[in-house]
């Protein structure tokens, strides 16, 4: 889509202004640009109107946004003449909406301002996102995850909502507990670090504590709770609505964040599952004889290609790519 260079320069400022995130100096620049011509003023007003009506953008990942943009581009390519013949408000609004979508999805994370600027939502679409909350807590957000939180926490609590997976390093506050709504459970702490895995399509929710003390309880039954300390985890099984506490035996529970993976006589089938989960890959074992072959090694912040090369050379495997899938074959152990 072709835009006037001046519009490209100021589009980012317009979006930031509409979301309430524009710095004072940039605000003055933008206001001067708007007042410099009637066309600029009209363009800003159109963006403002579309921004108010663009609720459908809220809650989408960048993959979904990019798909909508591709559909729009395809429509233009399929019938350019028809669109040129209709240069009225509807097409102008469509172009503006598409522009806003593109700017909202710059990079791979999407940052939204919701509820008239009272809440933030951060979406990690194509890379891990690092978030610092208003009171100093830090959150690492895994791919295909989203975090919603208030610009200013209430006086008696610090509450956020998670869909997906995140590692929390919560700033200690003995007066205001930190509460996470993760699907069907709440996670409550005063100050500690822990991992929460709560993807909507998974059949269970996991909370794993690295240090400190964490309370996990059901949304619909606060009395059904478990208290976890370092080295423990809670598992909530959605189907049976059971909340269980146990020792954490998964040493790779936060490898998605650190990219440090430890295998100790780990069956190849489990190696493939872990690598797929961490790197969002599609490794498939073609030879059943390989599934139980043990793997003992450590990968420390290495690429998927390096991991595959090591496995291929040390285990005498044949690794080929078929489309988006990676096929692992071999004689077995």
Question: What is the predicted pLDDT for the residue at 211?
Answer: 94
Give yes or no for residue 77 having a pLDDT over 70.
no
Give yes or no for residue 80 having a pLDDT over 50.
no
Q: How confident is the model at residue 82 (pLDDT cuts 50, 70, 90)?
A: very low
Return mean pLDDT, the chain.
80
Tell me: the pLDDT tens digits for 85-135?
Answer: 444 444 455 555 555 555 554 433 444 544 444 678 888 988 899 999 988
2-24 mean pLDDT: 63
Alpha-carbon radius of gyration of the chain: 24
Q: Of 11-25, 36-50, 249-263, where does mean pLDDT reach its minimum?
A: 11-25
CA-CA distance, 234 to 189, in Å (whole number)?
A: 14
CA-CA distance, 27 to 50, in Å (whole number)?
A: 20
Domains of the chain plus CATH, in order, are 5-106 (no CATH), 111-247 (2.60.120.1440), 259-329 (3.55.50.30)
Q: Of 90-99, 115-124, 180-189, 190-199, where does mean pLDDT reach its minimum?
A: 90-99
195-214 mean pLDDT: 94
Of 291, 172, 187, whose CA–CA distance to 245 is shortest?
187
Give yes or no for residue 20 having a pLDDT over 80.
no
Q: How confident is the model at residue 245 (pLDDT cuts 50, 70, 90)?
A: very high
Question: What is the predicted pLDDT for the residue at 18?
Answer: 73
Question: What is the predicted pLDDT for the residue at 61?
Answer: 44
Give 190 or 308, the one with higher predicted confidence: 308
197-223 mean pLDDT: 93
Question: What is the predicted pLDDT for the residue at 207?
Answer: 97
Question: What is the predicted pLDDT for the residue at 226?
Answer: 94
Give yes or no for residue 31 having a pLDDT over 80.
yes
Question: What is the predicted pLDDT for the residue at 2?
Answer: 40
Q: Of 39-53, 290-304, 319-333, where does mean pLDDT reach its minimum?
A: 39-53
Give yes or no for residue 304 having a pLDDT over 70.
yes
Tell me: the pLDDT tens digits for 35-64?
Answer: 888 878 887 887 777 666 554 444 444 444
State the virtual CA torsion across 87, 89, 93, 94 in degrees, nearest 10.
Answer: -40
CA distances from 223 to 136, 185, 220 (A): 30, 12, 9
Which percentage of the chain shows pLDDT scores above 90?
49
Tokens 């990219």 correspond to 259
Question: What is the predicted pLDDT for the residue at 81?
Answer: 44
Give yes or no for residue 216 having a pLDDT over 50.
yes
Question: What is the predicted pLDDT for the residue at 3?
Answer: 42
Label residues 51-71 b or e (16+ Cβ within 10 Å = b).
beebeebeebbbebbbebbee
DSSP letters, 304-328, are HHHHHHHHHHHTT-EEEEETTEEEE
Question: For residue 89, with 0-12 CB atoms within 10 Å meaning exposed, 13-18 middle and 19 or more buried, which class applies?
Answer: exposed
Give 57 or 296, the one with higher predicted confidence: 296
238-244 mean pLDDT: 86
Give 11 or 34, the one with higher predicted confidence: 34
For residue 244, how many other CB atoms are within 10 A of its CB? 13
Question: What is the predicted pLDDT for the residue at 75?
Answer: 53
Tell me: the pLDDT tens digits for 271-290?
Answer: 999 999 999 999 999 988 89
């Amino acid at each position: 889509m072709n835009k006037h260079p001046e519009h490209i320069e100021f589009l980012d400022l317009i979006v930031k202004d509409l979301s309430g995130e524009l710095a004072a100096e940039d605000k003055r620049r933008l206001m001067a640009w708007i007042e410099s011509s009637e066309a600029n003023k009209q363009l800003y007003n159109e963006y403002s109107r579309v921004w108010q009506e663009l609720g459908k953008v809220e809650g989408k990942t960048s993959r979904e946004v990019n798909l909508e943009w591709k559909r729009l581009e395809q429509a233009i390519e399929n019938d350019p003449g028809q669109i040129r013949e209709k240069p009225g408000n509807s097409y102008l609004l469509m172009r503006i909406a598409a522009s806003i979508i593109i700017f909202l999805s710059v990079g791979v994370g999407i940052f939204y301002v919701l509820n008239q600027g009272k809440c933030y939502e951060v979406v990690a679409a194509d890379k891990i996102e690092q978030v610092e909350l208003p009171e100093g807590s830090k959150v690492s957000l895994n791919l295909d995850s989203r975090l919603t939180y208030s610009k200013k926490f209430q006086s008696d609590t610090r509450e956020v909502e998670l869909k997906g997976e995140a590692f929390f390093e919560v700033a200690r506050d003995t007066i205001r507990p930190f509460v996470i709504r993760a699907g069907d459970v709440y996670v409550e702490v005063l100050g500690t670090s822990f991992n929460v895995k709560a993807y909507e399509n998974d059949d269970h929710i996991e909370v794993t504590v690295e240090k400190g003390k964490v309370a996990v309880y059901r949304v619909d039954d606060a009395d059904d709770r478990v208290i976890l300390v370092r080295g423990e985890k809670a598992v909530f099984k959605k189907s049976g609505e059971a909340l269980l506490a146990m020792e954490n035996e998964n040493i790779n529970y936060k490898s998605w964040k650190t990219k440090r993976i430890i295998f100790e006589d780990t069956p190849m089938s489990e190696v493939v599952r872990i690598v797929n989960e961490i790197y969002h890959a599609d490794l498939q074992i073609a030879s059943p004889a390989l599934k139980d072959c043990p793997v003992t090694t450590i990968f420390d912040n290495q690429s998927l290609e390096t991991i595959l090369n090591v496995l291929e050379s040390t285990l005498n495997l044949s690794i080929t790519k078929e489309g988006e899938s990676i096929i692992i074959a071999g004689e077995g152990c």
